[in-house]
Amino acid sequence: MHATSATQAHGAVPVSCNRAHRSNAVIKSHESLIEKRVAGVTRKTWGDYSVELSGRPRRLLGEKGAETYTEIHTFHVVIHLYTMSEKVQVSYSGRIATITIDNEKKLGALDLEGYYALAKSMREVAARDDIYITILTGKGRYFSAGADVSVGRSHPPGTDLYKEWLRTFVSNNLNITQAFYSHPKILIAALNGPAVGLSAALTGFADFVYAAPHTFLLTPFSSLGLVAEGGASQAFVQRLGISKANEALIMSKRIGVEELVATGYVNKVFECEKGDNEGFMRQVLHEVDDRLGEHLVGESLTGIKALIRKPEREVLDRQTVAEVFAGLNRFVTGVPQQEFQKLASGQKRHKL
């Protein structure tokens, strides 16, 4: 069995399994997995993996987390692999990777696992030599409503809050922010709707931004007792200019699509109805094919981006660390948690 990436979300991977081969795919042994009929196909799902078997394997060994599989007669396996969180999906077409935030029921909001899956997907796309363009989009009316405030974290008395938030908030924000500003492919943010909070901040690292008409950016950090996140204290100043960046970050002011176009943050707006993701993405992909298609050399695209981004890399390394530790100090006070609880309970609504 060959090693297979866990972000090949929308396709099926045919794999030939032979004796004593190794794989990064995790398959757990289960008696009901094998049907004793020649044309039989059995499907079983464990966590992130959906597995189809056909043929007559004699024995399948290994437990979740194991890599070595022995005593397997040759048979055909189709593995539908998903990211750690099904809220983030990845598909490939030619030299383009499309990452979709798929949590429509919560307006694209992400919890810690969701942001980890997003960062993991970005890094795995970055490692593929055949990909030159990454498109990031959402599903539904919103691109992403930011952090999922419905997922509360209560800590028992005596908890070392500094240690707890260092382990969760700091590591998560460092990881996701670095995954975006270090991404070597041409990064396109296809904003199918509003972008809020950390998710909005991360779009500042896109090389091109396309938007639906109802798009706006909202970074309500000061409203929540937080400080700037996701590299916004650097990226927003560069993309929006200092005046609009101050409005967005200090005032927690909503920046509408007209202003985003006027400042150069958004490259182009595509007309579509709210929630018409297919129509919106059809226009985005047509634009990408027209402007960034095969007539442009892939290595040149990424090479030019690397040169453009090089001067700011060390600045972003320093600024991201400064942001997360400033944010850590805010969480230790307990103020952001109180504001999140007010939002989750409906006691507070942001002034849009």
| Active site members | 229
Phi and psi at 325, nearest 5°, equal -75, -30
Phi/psi zone of residue 294: left (φ > 0), alpha (ψ -120 to 50 degrees), beta? alpha
* Distant-in-sequence, close-in-space partners of 282: CB < 8 Å, separation ≥ 6: none
Distance from C-alpha of 345 to C-alpha of 352, rounded to nearest angstrom: 18
Q: What SS3 state is found at 341?
A: helix
Distance from C-alpha of 324 to C-alpha of 330, rounded to nearest angstrom: 10
DSSP-derived secondary structure letter, 185: S
Query: Distance of alpha carbon 290 from its chain centroid, rounded?
Result: 25
Q: Assess contact for 117 and 84: CB atoms under 8 A.
A: yes
Query: Distance of alpha carbon 248 from its chain centroid, rounded?
Result: 22
